[in-house]
């Protein structure tokens, strides 16, 4: 799996996005990560998802996206959203360990985990979808209000700005801040600690905790995903995506 590195640890596994410096999210990365998640679900007790020092992920691979047909994009978009849902509903503890910038789709991916740990190195996260003329993914719109206040959520999704992990911590999106060199070790410690509890009890409590989000997502995700795909190929998003690709 060229896009993903897998590191085995006691009681947990670390999945590292490792597609160059920025790990842009495209169908290849989604498929690699989905395969790894499917294996983890069968053979492990917990997972940490990590990235690089400069970027956890820069977000969607916009230069690739603008070259796809509507049918090809729908294939990618449905696969990406299924991956997000699969991580969100994993019956085990999950943490996103962010040492690098976690941009747009990178933040979307991070928000599927039970916890997010960030580095104290000035790196940023955020959702700039509104500036590109598209909405945030439906699952993200369901999970954000469970983490942050309504005021914070409105600023995040309507403003489209990137903000430091420190600010994200104050808003509730990041659970803990550590020195960059410690972020992944701390995440592994936390996951391993939870993973040693009785499995059935954890699975039951997590399923109950996320039940309302899961129910809403399963009811509406096909319609919401189609709306996003339609907007992706309409103006003004199309022109904005082409412009963004030039600076990618």
Segment 112-150, tens digit of pLDDT: 999 999 999 999 999 999 999 999 999 999 999 999 999
Q: Could you identify the residue written with the tokens 């960030």? A: 118
The upper half-sphere exposure of residue 77, i.e. CA atoms within 13 Å in the direction of its Cβ, equals 28
Q: What is the CA radius of gyration of the chain?
A: 17
Q: For residue 2, what are its two tokens?
A: 């060229």
d(CA 37, CA 45): 12
- Positive or negative: CA dihedral 75, 111, 54, 154: positive
Domain hosting residue 26, numbered range: 4-182
Report the mean per-residue pLDDT for the chain. Answer: 95
Q: How many domains does the chain have?
A: 1
Residue 43 confidence (pLDDT): 86
CATH number of domain containing 20: 3.90.226.10
Looking at the domain assignment, is residue 225 inside a domain?
no
Q: Average pLDDT for residues 17-38, to the nearest whole number?
A: 95
d(CA 178, CA 237): 37
Looking at the domain assignment, is residue 175 inside a domain?
yes
Looking at the domain assignment, is residue 240 inside a domain?
no
* Residue % of the chain over a pLDDT of 70: 100
Looking at the domain assignment, is residue 72 inside a domain?
yes
Length of the chain, in residues: 248
Looking at the domain assignment, is residue 65 inside a domain?
yes
Looking at the domain assignment, is residue 195 inside a domain?
no
Segment 147-168, tens digit of pLDDT: 999 999 999 999 999 999 999 9
Contact 49, 113 (CB under 8 A): yes
d(CA 141, CA 135): 9
Reply yes or no on whether the pLDDT at 178 is more than 90: yes
Looking at the domain assignment, is residue 204 inside a domain?
no
Residue 2 confidence (pLDDT): 78
Q: Average pLDDT for residues 183-195, to the nearest whole number?
A: 97
Q: Is 186 exposed, middle or buried (0-12, 13-18, 19+ CB in 10 A)?
A: middle
Q: Average pLDDT for residues 103-113, to the nearest whole number?
A: 98
Model-level pTM?
0.96
Looking at the domain assignment, is residue 210 inside a domain?
no
């Amino acid at each position: 799996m060229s896009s993903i590195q897998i590191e085995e640890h006691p009681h947990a596994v670390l999945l590292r996005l490792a597609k160059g410096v920025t790990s842009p999210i495209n169908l290849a990365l989604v498929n690699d990560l989905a395969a790894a998640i499917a294996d983890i679900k069968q053979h492990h007790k917990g997972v940490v998802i990590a990235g690089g020092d400069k970027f956890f992920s820069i977000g969607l691979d916009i230069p690739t996206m603008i070259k796809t047909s509507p049918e090809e994009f729908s294939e990618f978009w449905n696969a990406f959203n299924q991956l997000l849902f699969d991580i969100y509903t994993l019956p085990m503890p999950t943490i996103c360990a962010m040492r690098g910038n976690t941009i747009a789709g990178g933040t979307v991916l991070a928000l599927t985990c039970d916890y997010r740990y960030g580095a104290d190195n000035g790196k940023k996260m955020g959702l700039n979808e509104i500036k590109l003329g598209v909405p945030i993914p439906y699952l993200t719109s369901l999970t954000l209000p469970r983490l942050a206040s309504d005021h914070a959520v409105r600023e995040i999704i309507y403003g489209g700005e990137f903000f430091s992990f420190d600010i994200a911590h104050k808003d509730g999106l990041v659970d803990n801040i550590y020195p960059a060199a410690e972020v992944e070790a701390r995440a592994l410690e936390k996951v391993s600690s939870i993973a040693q509890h009785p499995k059935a009890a954890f699975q039951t409590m997590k399923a109950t905790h996320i039940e309302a989000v899961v129910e809403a997502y399963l009811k509406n995700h096909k319609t919401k995903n189609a709306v996003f795909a339609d907007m992706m190929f309409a103006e003004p998003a199309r022109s904005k995506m082409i412009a963004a690709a030039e600076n990618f």
